[in-house]
Structures are given as C-alpha cells and as structure tokens.
Amino acid sequence: MIPFERNRQQTIPSSSLKVIGLGGAGANMLDRAALDGMEGAELLALNTDMRTLAQSVAGEKLQLGPNLTKGLGAGGDPELGKQAVLEVEAQVRDAVKGRSIVFLCVGLGGGTGSGAAPIVTRLAREEGAFVVVFATMPFGFEGQRRRDQAETALNELAVLSNALVTFDNGRMGELVLAKQGIHEAFSAADRMISESIKAVTRLVIKPGLVNVGLDDLMTALKTNRSRCLFGSGIAKGKNRAQTALKNALSSPLLDRGSLLHDAESVLVHVSGGSEMTLYEVELLMQGLTKHVPESAHILFGAAIDEAMGDSLSVTVISALPENKLTATMPGKTEGAADSIFEAVEDDDDDEEVDPGGTFVPAVSFKKSEPEPEVEDELEEEPEPEPVPEKKEKSAPKRTILPPRREKPKSKPEPEPEPEPEPEPEPVIEGFEEDEWDEEEDEEIPARGKVESPFLDDEDEEEDLVEDEDSAQEEVALKEDDDLEDEDANDDEDSDDGEVVRLTSGADKSKSEPKADELGELEDDDWATVHKPKSSRKDETGEAKKRPSAGQAELELDGGPRGRFEGESPNLVDGEDLDVPPYLRKRAK
Ligand SMILES: Nc1nc2c(ncn2[C@@H]2O[C@H](COP(=O)(O)OP(=O)(O)OP(=O)(O)O)[C@@H](O)[C@H]2O)c(=O)[nH]1
C-alpha cells in the first residue's frame, strides 16, 4: 500500500474563480472553454482590439487602452500592450478583487498579451488571488521577434505567477495537426488549453474525498522557469482506472510518462461516480508510481462526482525545469505507458471515453533522437481522418452526364434516316446503372459544349452535335407540322407532299436543297421561304401558299406573276416577290 498524504484543505467555491482571456489568442481560448461548458466560473475578456472583444462569448469584457489604441490592437508591440492595461488598472483590479483563484489565458508573442499579461498577473496577485497562467508560445514561422517577445513575457510570468502552464504552438502543430491548417492548429491548441483549465478547475473546486488545495497545485507546478507536465484521461469499463491512467500518460505533454521520471512532485487527482472503489484507485496509483522517482512528493486528491456516471477520470500534473526537459531520454519512454499494465490483463470491456489531455509540451526533442511513440498513440485515437477518401467516393455523384438521347415518343420521325449505330452506354467506374435517373436530375446544359468525361473521342462529340442538330430540326419540323395543319384547312395544294423543308438551317448538309434541286431559285426566293410564319399571311389573314418542290418548274406563262397572277401581291420594299426576279430586274 502506498502512503498518501491526506490534505485537509478546503476547496475553493466556484464563485471565487475567475478565468481571464487576454488578447486575441486569450479570447479564443476563453471562448473554447466557455463552449466546452466551463461551469461555475466567471469569464472575463481583456483586449485592446474592440472587434475581437465584441465577438467574445465572455460575460464580462474590458477594453484595454481605450485612449491609447482607440479600439485597435497593440500591433505586436508589447510596450503598447503594457501601457494599455495600465490605462485601465483600476478596472482590472476591481474585476479580480475578492477572487481566490485567477486563471489567465494568453498567447505570447503579440503586443497585448505579452505586454499586459505580467501586469494583469501582478495586479491579481496584489488583490490576493492565486494566479495560474496558461500561455502559448508562438510558432517558429512567426519569426524571432515574436519568439523573443514571448520569452521575455514568459520570464516575467514565471516570477510573478503562482503557477505557469506553457504550451508550445509549434510543437502542437507539428505533432497534432501536421497536415492541417493554422486555424485548425490554433483551435486544437485552444481545445487542449480548455481541457487543462477544466481539469485544474475540477481539482481545486470540486469538493472531494481527498482534497487538493491551491498550495498543492502550486507545489506541483512551481519550479523556477519550468514547463507544465499535464495529462488527463477518462475511461469506462472493467479496467477503467488503468485505462484512464494510460490515456493520461499518452499525453504528449507527459511524453508517455517519461517526463515524470525527473519530477520532484506530482499531483494526481482521481474522480469517478459513486461506484469508484478504493481498489481501483490503488491499482491506478501503483501504475503511476512506476513513472515517478521514489523521492517524489505525491499529492493525491479524489472526488466522487455523480455526473461522471460509470466513467473514471485521472489528472496528472507536474512541472519540470526547462534544463531537464531537453535532457529527456526517449529510450525510457518506449512502452512506458504500456508497461504499467503488465500485470493487468486488458479487457475488451474497457471503453476509452476521451483520452483527454493531449497536450504538447514546450519540449525541444533532439533531432537525432527518434520521436517518442506519441504519434502511435495518436493513431490509436478514434479520429476518423480519411476525408479525401470520402471525397473520392462522392465524386461520381457530381459528374455531369450527357443527356439521354431519347426522342419524344409522340412525335413521328420526320424523315426516315439511316439507323444510327446503337451507341454503347457510357461505362462509368463505380457508377451503377440505376444512378442514371438521379443524375439526370442534375443541371445539364441543353446547348453548348458538353464537358463530359465520357466524350473523349471526336466521334462521340460529333454525335452530340448531331443530336443537338436533330433537336433543332425537330423544332423546325414541329413548326412545319403546325403550318401544315393550318394549311390543310385552307390550302388544297398543301398535301401534295412536295414541300421543301428549308426552315431548319441547322444541318444544311442534310436538309437544305442543293442548287440543282432548286433550279433557278435565287437569293430572293430563299428570303421568301425563310420568312417568318406570321409574314406568310397576307393582310386578310389568308395563308400564303408555301413554295413547293414544284417551284423548280414554275410556270411563267400567262403573265409576269405566273401562277400567282390574280393573288394578293407579296410586297417587300416595293417589290412583288411573286414576280420572278429576272423579270423584276429587267423592269428596273
Ligand atoms: N492557441 C492559440 N494561439 C493563438 C491564437 N491566435 C494567435 N495565437 C498565438 O498567440 C500569439 C499572440 O497573438 P494575439 O493574441 O492575436 O496577439 P495579441 O496579444 O492580441 O497582440 P496584438 O495583436 O498585437 O494586439 C500569436 O503570435 C500566436 O502564436 C489562437 O487562436 N489560439
């Protein structure tokens, strides 16, 4: 049995906790914590940038440097950030007055956060609060200037704060979201920070069987210029205690437990429903002690939380001086998290609820050293990532298919054309026959070039053009049919079956009569034939006789207007078009 110190300290009422988001990054972290259900704590956003401030979900907002920056940010200048907070020093003091604990979330490297964080920390401390700072360090690509500004602020915070929890954005992006964008990296960082804030809040606020006090927290986190080691895991099932610890140690911030080998003090908090047993806690602690030196000071807390149901969570917090972080021995890490369960048979009933605490330490691993197995652990996480596959799968749905070439059944075929070669249906990989109908609903350009992956060769494209032409021809035929219907009533000659179809114009090679077929028809004759339907009627509304193939044998005997003699003249620009052109020309 491992002897644990029983700490009789009272926990802090939630009303005395204030979480502050400072600057742009701080506001995002705060929003994340609020959206994740940060219970019981007051949320305060501090920023020079009014636009960002207005968007924050925090219940309380305070503009820094209203006269100095006039609602704009500090432009990356920490001195401006510092002066901006001093301008509203009294309000900041008021906001933190009477709070036992203040969590300050800030992204270091910019102007507002780097300049104002040390001042806010000092003011909160002077007002009697215990201040835990959650700070991010900038990405490498943000440049040396930002890195230097962040380092300067970090050094000040290490002295001024009660506890400092540092996250390295660069490391986080590298390990967690190497393939994703900066926004995703930031939001992942915010999620992690939000998780750690919640875990620490759980530690110090929830009343427990064995309480953890602020001084425990400070002991666990405070060393001169140190980085936080943090891991949190939750599990359900038969071996939930071991699984929860395994999840917590899988946190990159703990480097699979290896970073605990040099820890001087470690804070462990276990939380579960009323079913949590002492045996489970003991097993868990036995596992943990394999990773900490015998001389380490273990601070233990446990709480029954009915809201946990049948889940059990464990939070491990420690701190390591920076000089020890770089000297980490990866050899020690291999299988470290797994080894603690050697004696415990894994059970399929175990359900990993939420690995939690996937925090990335500000640890500079030596390049020559193999990466610790953090990535393996991450691979085990049930993050469904194969997004591209999904896209590929759905791609055929977006394919525009050529329209079906069905001719309207009700329309008679205009002219018997030679039977076209039966065209094979396009074969589409991964596309079922019955999907055609669905696809037909998609918008398909009726005219113009059809960009279809299935029209690779010229023949097929020609086919399509032909289809278009035949569609146009059909329209023309319909017009002619209509005209014929009209003509049928008042023109006995209309059924002579010799009407030359000239209105299509779409496929002249097929439907235009050749010159020798038309005999002496000249331009003006074409004009007559092409006249719109409406103009084919004279003023009395009588339909004009339509030219027929017989025009090639037009009888001119009996008068200058031939067979049109005695009919109403068909006048265009003063010329009677029913008079043969050569006669009209002669008359001129
Ligand atoms: N985790 C996290 N880090 C961020 C985010 N946005 C920015 N950062 C980091 O935080 C640093 C400071 O950025 P901001 O907080 O926007 O800057 P600021 O403190 O408001 O300062 P000014 O913009 O100069 O007024 C950046 O250099 C980034 O490394 C974010 O949304 N999440």
ipTM: 0.98
What is the distance between the alpha carbons of residues 432 and 183, in angstroms, rounded to a whole number?
A: 39
Instruction: Please tell me whether residue 481 adopts helix, strand or coil conformation.
Output: helix
Ligand 1 contacts CB of residue 167 (under 6 A):
no
Q: What are the tens digits of pLDDT across the range 445-496?
A: 333 333 333 333 344 444 444 444 444 444 444 444 444 444 444 443 433 3
Q: In what order do the strands lie in the sheet with 101-107?
A: 60-63, 42-47, 17-22, 101-107, 130-137, 163-168
More confident: 516 or 23: 23
The response to whether residue 505 sits with its C-beta less than 6 Å from ligand 1 reads no
Q: From the CA of 23, how far away is ligand 1's center (Å)?
A: 7
Write out pLDDT tens, residues 134-163: 998 898 888 999 999 999 999 999 889 988
138 lines ligand 1 (CB under 6 A): yes
Name the CATH code of domain 7-205 (choices 3.40.50.1700, 3.40.50.720, 3.40.50.1440, 3.40.640.10): 3.40.50.1440
| Pairing of β 575-576 and β 571-572 | antiparallel
Ligand 1, atom 11: closest residue by C-alpha: 107
Cβ of 65 closer than 6 Å to ligand 1, yes or no, is no
pLDDT tens across 253-306, in order? 666 666 778 787 888 888 888 888 888 989 999 998 888 888 888 888 888 888
| Distances, alpha carbon 126 to alpha carbons 61, 102, 496, in Å | 21, 12, 111
> Rounded distance, CA 493 to CA 65, Å?
96
Crossing angle (nearest 10°) for helices 78-87 and 144-160: 40
The average confidence (pLDDT) of the chain is: 64
Q: Is 69 left (phi over 0), alpha (psi -120 to 50) or beta?
A: alpha
Residue 319, SS3?
strand
Distance CA 453, CA 457 (A): 10
CA distance 379 to 540: 87
Query: Which pTM was predicted?
Result: 0.55
pLDDT tens for each residue of 16-33? 789 999 999 999 989 888
Q: Is the CB of 453 under 6 A from ligand 1?
A: no
Higher pLDDT, 399 or 66: 66
Consult the annotation and say whether 574 binds a ligand.
no
Pocket of ligand 1, candidates 136, 190, 197: which has the most ligand atoms within 8 Å of its Cβ, to mutate? 136
Averaged pLDDT for residues 170-193: 68
Cβ–Cβ < 8 Å for 206, 303 = yes
Please state, in angstroms and rounded to a whole number, the distance separating the CA atoms of residues 235 and 355: 8
* Shortest-distance atom of ligand 1 to CA 81: 25
Amino acid at 214: L
Is residue 27 a known part of a binding site?
A: yes
- 65, 49 in Cβ contact below 8 A? no
According to CATH, the topology of domain 226-385 is 60s Ribosomal Protein L30; Chain: A; (3.30.1330)
- CB of 254 within 6 A of ligand 1: the answer is no
As given in the structure block, the two tokens for residue 476 are 């023309």
Ligand 1 proximity of 115 Cβ (cutoff 6 Å):
no
> What is the residue extent of each domain of the chain?
7-205, 226-385, 407-482, 512-533+547-588
Q: Does residue 170 line the site of ligand 1, with CB under 6 A?
A: no
Is the CB of residue 112 below 6 angstroms from any atom belonging to ligand 1?
yes
**Residue 176 in contact with ligand 1 by CB distance below 6 A:** no
Distance 275 CA to ligand 1 centre (A): 43
The alpha helices in 36-138, defined as continuous H runs, are: 50-55, 78-87, 89-96, 112-126
Residues 6+ apart with CB under 8 A from 409: none
On whether 25 is known to bind a ligand per the annotation, the reply is yes
Tell me which of 32, 69, 85, 112 to substitute to probe ligand 1's pocket, judged by most ligand atoms within 8 Å of the beta carbon. Answer: 112
Predicted local confidence at residue 324, as pLDDT? 63
Give the atom of ligand 1 at the shortest distance from the alpha carbon of 49.
25
Tell me if 7-205 shares its fold with 226-385: no
